[in-house]
Structure 1
């Protein structure tokens, strides 16, 4: 066979399934979400920037400013503050400070706000870090899959 007729086997695993000619659609298509605009799946850049903003707020403004804790010596205090603020804000408003600044929010798959149980499950897994680093093709981390939520644009 000619290499022009069929991709080389190295192209399929090095370039991913899209280079093999498999179309998986856009992120969120399987969930019934729009491709662009409000309600579309938020990109990873916004999500990472939001968590960095939240971590800085929890580490320096809250842990150090209010509690006087040096984050370098007691690293568990900022993590607890991060977990509590993330849980409370996600459960009540559907977004954290960083998410609000970047125009994204946490939603259930039917478009509503996550409740207490979903916010608690999502926050615990987010604080463990590893589940948040494993995404599916809809850009949902394991913490979102466990809580039955998705991060969408506002």
Structure 2
């Protein structure tokens, strides 16, 4: 299938896709634990009553599991919006960043590090960090408002 070896850590055309897959794989286990915990918190008598009424597994999932996990969805949605500007996280991008893929993997955190600590422009790096925090807070408030409007549930 592959005729020549592929250096995924040095190919700038492939680096962003690879890091996106690594980030998804990194969060998969944590997400599975959270969703399994939400599923285990649903009362089993609801499923038994649905089976007695003749509901299929699809209807059980649609009418019992999804509404039971909705508070978890809301919290994870709001947390995900809060991490939206992290762009994969500083540690992951900084670890895999090299001169060949730097143009594809730079995000706000690595930019702030490069400008502030390597370029010794502390005031500018602080301003970038503060603006990132303000935009993140505004996104969190908007996500909370959307959640409250759609589901009637919110964190604030």
TM-score after normalising by structure 1: 0.33
More helix, by proportion: 2
TM-score (norm 2): 0.33
Q: Which has the higher strand share?
A: 1
